[in-house]
Structure 1
Amino acid sequence: MPSTALTYTDPLPRLIALPGVYRPQADTLLLADALAREPLRPGAQVVEIGTGTGVLALRAAARGAHVTAVDVAWPAVLAARLNGWRQRLRLRVLHGDFADRTRGRRFDLVLANPPYVPGPDSRLPAGGARRAWEAGREGRAVIDRICAAAPGLLRPGGVLLMVHSGMCGAQKTLALLHRQGMQAHVTERTRIPWGPVLRSRAAWLREQGLAEDGEDREELVVVRAQHP
């Protein structure tokens, strides 16, 4: 059964998080839960999309995986490199869009904590900290791209682990992945209080039908999809 609470007991390490870099939060912990349960052989090829501080990439590297981490923000790239150096773990950290930086490569495991917060502006920010969470009016601007790209990113038997808000529609994510011929289901769930971004746009979320009147907690889900 999917979990309904954060269960990760091994604390995340202290990490360098430069200004504007997404710091590990509840979604990071939930994805760390899923990663901890995933079989990962030494030498497995892993990519993390939107690495931020590099915390999940480092978890995979500590288990002997060969890890590539990608982020569109230079401060995140620098933070992940510094954290890898401090922990004496080898990471290949690349700057840019994940589709460009992974072209022609396939992986055993893809980790993704993409931007997923719905907002009234359909245009995605070109820079700044908001790039880590703003994801268009449905919150799916990056999620849908990852779903479309997943079969081409994964080796046969490879796995995608992706966390996002329930507001974005877990069933839609599963349907897109099934359409790509992948086996997909939700493995982790938890509910957390709204953070400042969601609280600031509560009225808009309710107008859009993304939240009920009086609702102030957000569901997070981890989707696991496996390439046949």
Structure 2
Amino acid sequence: MKFLKPPGVYAPQEDTVMLVSALRREHLSPGAEVLDVGSGTGAAAIAAARFGVARVTAIDISAAAVLTTRLNALLSGYARVIRTSRGDLTEPVTGLRFDLVLANLPYVPSANARVPRRGIARAWEAGIDGRAVLDRLCVKVPALLRPGGVLLAVHSVLSNPAMTLARLAEAGLGVAVTDRRFVPFGPVLRERAGWLEAQGLIEAGQEEEELVVIRAERPY
């Protein structure tokens, strides 16, 4: 299948692969409705559509990412299943509920506390502690899940998965880390390795980061 990955849109990487792998283990009914937050190219949304679910809603703050998701849905034959929307985090679906929420959001710590409003960097930049967007997700997602609904979120150990687990648990969700994988630093982390070391986030000479998938389920 032809898959568009234009410059300026976050391309599928190891975090995307991990999220899709976790998705495959979920038992989704044909009537399930899925939300993909931070859709990028639409890779996770298309993976969900392949399970034969009723609807996938794909959201991204980037207009280029929304267009790319829409085109890839068309190329893959799932344009009728995947609905795209541009907006900040979950704002476009306020008041709606889903059986599954997928989230691959910005999680890279940065010396700059301000999250960029434009450009490709906003796909990964997440403030000093890497949680500028993750903390907002933890607040928003419980209300988006139907009883028995599941959140699958992927992010780096550098952005404190224990905090994500704690905040989701405080909201009444059952939580667990289901997947872990070490991956080599990409260009962004290599460039700021000195700062990360000074912050105590990595060891001297460290060249890999650990990614995790967090699963949170709303009780029936």
> Could you say whether these structures have the same fold, taking a TM-score greater than 0.5 normalized by the shorter chain as the test?
yes
Note the C-alpha offset of 1:99: 2.7
Query: Residue 78 of structure 1: SS of its match in structure 2?
Result: helix
Q: How does 1:62-141 map to 2 (within 5 A)?
A: 62-65=50-53, 66-89=55-78, 90-141=81-132
User: Which residue of the partner structure matches residue 180 of structure 1?
Assistant: 171
Note the C-alpha offset of 1:152: 0.5
CA displacement, residues 88-117 of structure 1 (integer Å, 9 cap, x when unaligned): 102100011133101010000000000000
For residue 210 of structure 2, what is the amino acid of its counterpart? E
CA contact (8 A) 2:2 2:75 kept: no
Query: Residue 164 of structure 2: SS of its match in structure 1?
Result: helix
* 2:208 alignment partner, one of 217, 222, 227: 217
Paired with 1:99 and 1:225, the residues of 2 have a C-alpha distance of 17
| Residue 154 of structure 2 is aligned to residue 154 of structure 1 | no
TM-score, L = length of structure 2: 0.96
Q: What RMSD in Å do the two structures reach over aligned CA positions?
A: 0.9
Query: Residue 214 of structure 1: SS of its match in structure 2?
Result: coil
For residue 69 of structure 2, what is the amino acid of its counterpart? A
Query: Residue 139 of structure 1: SS of its match in structure 2?
Result: coil
CA contact (8 A) 1:70 1:98 kept: yes
Paired with 1:111 and 1:151, the residues of 2 have a C-alpha distance of 13
For residue 217 of structure 1, what is the amino acid of its counterpart? E
Note the C-alpha offset of 1:14: 4.3
In the alignment of these two chains, the number of paired residues is: 216
Note the C-alpha offset of 1:15: 1.4
| Residue 49 of structure 2 is aligned to residue 58 of structure 1 | no
| Residue 13 of structure 2 is aligned to residue 25 of structure 1 | yes
User: Which residue of the partner structure matches residue 162 of structure 2?
Assistant: 171
Paired with 2:174 and 2:107, the residues of 1 have a C-alpha distance of 22
For residue 109 of structure 2, what is the amino acid of its counterpart? P
Moved more, 107-116 or 145-154: 145-154
CA displacement, residues 46-102 of structure 1 (integer Å, 9 cap, x when unaligned): 000000000110111111121000000011000000001111102100011133101
Paired with 1:178 and 1:64, the residues of 2 have a C-alpha distance of 30
CA contact (8 A) 2:37 2:90 kept: no
Paired with 2:190 and 2:176, the residues of 1 have a C-alpha distance of 29
Query: Residue 92 of structure 1: SS of its match in structure 2?
Result: strand
CA contact (8 A) 2:59 2:90 kept: no
Percent identity, please: 52
Note the C-alpha offset of 1:43: 1.8
CA contact (8 A) 1:19 1:75 kept: no
User: Which residue of the partner structure matches residue 206 of structure 1?
Assistant: 197
Task: List gaps (5 residues or longer) in structure 2.
Answer: none
